[in-house]
């Protein structure tokens, strides 16, 4: 409490005392002393309480709490744990640790499981078919960066996807205590560790397959590697291994003779008494197509956007992007889509070729665009010209229906730069994204598409889209999400197909264990997105004839169904719209591959690298408990919280004032003084 407040309280005491004495001593001298003494005390209490409310001093209160450190128990829930026969040991280890009285008294215990995702759970099933250890540490970093926490990481250290978890564990700011699960004995083993192959190949061409084979053992052996298709061997080679030669990289070139999804199996001969033979074979598939989309990127200036467009377009190997400048020789007839980057008056002949050949276009504008030329050269819109520049943020349009795409975080992307001015469209268009300026969302398109005379055109009003792809990589850890979105835009613009009310997005083949999701977009008779449709997919296994029906669920401006629970095999499907005579059919393949069965041992080396101090094994539960209880870094901490509140919030003072006045009135009434 400040000195000034104390002085005010002192003055309040004097004033309250003075006023009460004046009222009862000065004016009531003829009354008995006990009366005015009692009444003046009550009046003093009233005055003083009122003055305190006017001064309103702050009341300071210190609260003490004891904060226990957090003990994070993170258990690997993937099926590789079951393959290594460690499920019961891990369950018992976790149960004993959670139920230990000393641990409960000294720690706040929280249990997580991790596989494809990190989950807070009380039970472990060991049935997840992927392991992303990297995501586990990134999640814990977000949850416990500001807390005193120790993380017991129970795992075999075998990761099937994601970035190397050793690096994310080092960035995790809390102590990591690995508990190694799995066999630590080294067995003789030979396995196909990795297969690299393109997803697409072109008809009558040849495609490469890169195979990595690893050997664990000391004896010299020679084993044959075969690639089979429909039980027919299309490639074979014998590899020699020894104590000094433990790996081979094998390159095979296979022909693409017919279109469609082609499934292959890679086999390597087993070793004598080999314990794990599941990793001696691996399946892969490739889709053979008979055409490729060629995209021309045409510009008069150099800009990072051009390189970004090329990378994003060629993410899908069915597409090829070529960067050309105006002075280059160009055969426009080779391309299905022309990306016109920041056009100016030098593009006059380009527009003539586009009109002559009926080409589809994607126009990208920016600060170097000649809008006077562009307003005159194309017939779709006009833009005001004032010479000023503006930055535009993006706002996702949930009602876009020309093709299906989801929000990839557009609102968080950096702004695009363009010239300031109002845009007036003369042709009906659909905006993928709207412009947002200073927090105000406009109805002016930032990205938009339109169709006229069997030609499709797109417009991006702003440069520096390369920053969006970089931002997406920073958020996701890869470029896939942005490239898939941009690829859908390119696919739509490069096609001249008649627009359909029901459109599907799916892959021709999947690997078992990875997410299998189909997306559908449905529009009504006016080609507006219909969120009320009931869409279902009928799936039939070609070999077993087993049939299943799954409903699509609404998600943003599209419908989605998850088929991840289907077994491996070849399937045919039909998608139906209820109460409408609209359906689409197709086929897809799920390749039999369980990556969790490829591991024979725990990866002790990596788990040792992430340890803050030391590692433990499942049979060292007591040693781990003693380590936790004796470590000075994991002691409860007493914290004090200083809480300040104004006196006006203390309602008891109002009660005192009312009580004082009430008692005084009754006493005066009783003594006949009123």
pLDDT, tens only, 505-554: 888 888 887 789 999 988 887 677 888 899 999 999 999 999 999 999 99
Provide the Cα torsion 44, 47, 50, 52; round to 10°: -60
Closest residue by Cα to residue 53 from 9, 14, 21: 9
CATH classification (class only), 69-185+601-635: alpha beta
Grade residue 35 by pLDDT with cuts at 50, 70 and 90.
Answer: low
Could you write out the three-class secondary structure of 407-428? CCCHHHCCCEEEECCCEEECCC
Closest residue by Cα to residue 501 from 400, 579, 402: 402
3-class secondary-structure state, position 350:
helix
* Residue 398 predicted with pLDDT over 90: no
Which residues is 338 bridged to in the sheet? Answer: 296, 361
Q: Name the pTM for this structure.
A: 0.60
pLDDT of residue 31: 52
Around Cβ 587, how many Cβ atoms within 10 Å?
14
pLDDT (average), residues 478-488? 92
pLDDT of residue 417: 95
CATH number given to 189-289: 2.60.40.10
Instruction: Report d(CA 313, CA 320) in Å as an integer.
Output: 7
Q: In the block, which residue shows the tokens 């393949």? A: 589
- CA 126, 130, 136, 137 torsion-angle sign: positive
Domain 502-595 indexed as CATH 1.20.120.1200: no
pLDDT (average), residues 16-25? 74
Which range has highest mean pLDDT (303-312, 476-485, 604-613)? 303-312
Q: 293-494 has which fold?
A: Rossmann fold (3.40.50)
Q: Provide DSSP, 112-149.
A: EEESSSEEE-S-----BS---HHHHHHHHHHHHTTS-E
pLDDT, tens only, 139-178: 999 998 888 889 999 988 888 877 889 998 998 989 999 9
């Amino acid at each position: 409490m400040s000195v000034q407040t104390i002085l005010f309280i002192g003055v309040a005491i004097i004033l309250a005392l003075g006023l009460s004495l004046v009222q009862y001593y000065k004016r009531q001298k003829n009354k008995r002393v006990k009366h005015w003494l009692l009444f003046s005390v009550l009046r003093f209490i009233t005055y003083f309480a009122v003055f305190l409310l006017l001064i309103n001093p702050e009341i300071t209160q210190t609260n003490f709490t004891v904060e226990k450190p957090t003990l994070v128990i993170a258990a690997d829930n993937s099926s590789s744990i079951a393959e290594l026969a460690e499920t019961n040991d891990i369950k018992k280890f976790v149960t004993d640790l959670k139920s230990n009285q000393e641990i409960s008294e000294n720690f706040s215990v929280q249990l997580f499981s991790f596989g494809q995702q990190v989950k807070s759970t009380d039970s472990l099933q060991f049935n997840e078919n992927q392991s992303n250890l990297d995501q586990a540490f990134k999640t814990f970093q977000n949850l416990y960066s500001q807390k005193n926490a120790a993380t017991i990481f129970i795992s075999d250290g075998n990761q099937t996807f994601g970035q190397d978890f050793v690096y994310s564990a080092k960035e995790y700011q809390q102590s990591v205590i690995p508990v190694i699960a799995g066999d630590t004995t080294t067995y003789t083993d030979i396995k196909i560790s990795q297969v690299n192959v393109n997803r697409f190949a072109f008809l009558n061409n040849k495609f490469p397959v890169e195979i990595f084979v690893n050997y664990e053992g000391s004896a010299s052996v020679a084993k044959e590697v075969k690639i089979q298709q429909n039980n027919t061997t299309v490639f074979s080679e014998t590899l020699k291994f020894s104590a000094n030669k433990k790996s081979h990289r094998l390159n095979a070139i296979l022909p693409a003779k017919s279109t469609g999804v082609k499934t292959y199996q890679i086999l390597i001969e087993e070793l004598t008494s080999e314990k794990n033979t599941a990793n001696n074979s691996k399946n892969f598939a490739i889709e053979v197509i008979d055409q490729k989309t060629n995209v021309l990127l045409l510009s008069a200036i150099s800009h990072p956007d051009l390189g970004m467009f090329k990378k994003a377009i060629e993410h899908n190997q069915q597409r090829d992007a070529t960067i050309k400048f105006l002075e280059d020789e160009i055969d426009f007839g080779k391309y299905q889509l022309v990306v016109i980057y920041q056009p100016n008056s030098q593009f006059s002949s380009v527009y003539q070729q586009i009109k002559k050949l009926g080409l589809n276009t994607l126009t990208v504008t920016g600060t170097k665009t000649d809008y006077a030329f562009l307003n005159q050269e194309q017939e779709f819109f006009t833009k005001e010209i004032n010479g000023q520049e503006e930055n535009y943020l993006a706002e996702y349009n949930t009602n876009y229906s020309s093709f299906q795409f989801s929000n990839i975080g557009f609102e968080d992307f950096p702004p695009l730069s363009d010239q300031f001015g109002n845009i007036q469209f003369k042709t009906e268009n659909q905006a993928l994204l709207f412009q947002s300026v200073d927090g105000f969302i406009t109805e002016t398109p930032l990205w938009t598409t339109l169709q006229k005379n069997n030609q499709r055109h797109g417009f991006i009003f702003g440069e520096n889209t390369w920053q969006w792809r970089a931002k997406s990589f920073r958020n996701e850890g890869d470029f896939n999400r942005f490239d898939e979105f941009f690829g859908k835009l390119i696919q739509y613009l490069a096609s001249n197909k008649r627009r359909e009310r029901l459109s599907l997005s799916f892959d021709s083949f999947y690997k078992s264990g990875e997410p299998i999701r189909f997306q559908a977009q449905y529009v009504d008779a006016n080609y507006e997105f219909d969120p009320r449709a009931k869409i279902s997919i009928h799936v039939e296994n070609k070999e077993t004839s087993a049939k299943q029906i799954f409903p699509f669920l609404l998600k943003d401006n599209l419908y989605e169904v998850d088929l991840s629970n289907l077994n491996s095999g070849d399937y045919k499907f039909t998608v139906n719209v209820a109460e409408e005579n609209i359906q689409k059919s197709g086929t897809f393949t799920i390749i039999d591959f369980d990556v969790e069965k490829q591991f024979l041992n725990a990866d002790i080396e990596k788990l040792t690298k992430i340890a803050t101090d030391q590692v433990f094994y499942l049979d060292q539960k007591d040693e781990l408990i003693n380590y936790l209880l004796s470590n000075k870094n994991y002691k409860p901490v007493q914290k004090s919280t200083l809480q300040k509140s104004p006196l006006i919030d203390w309602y008891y003072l109002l009660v005192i004032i009312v009580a004082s006045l009430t008692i005084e009135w009754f006493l005066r009434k009783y003594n006949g003084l009123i």
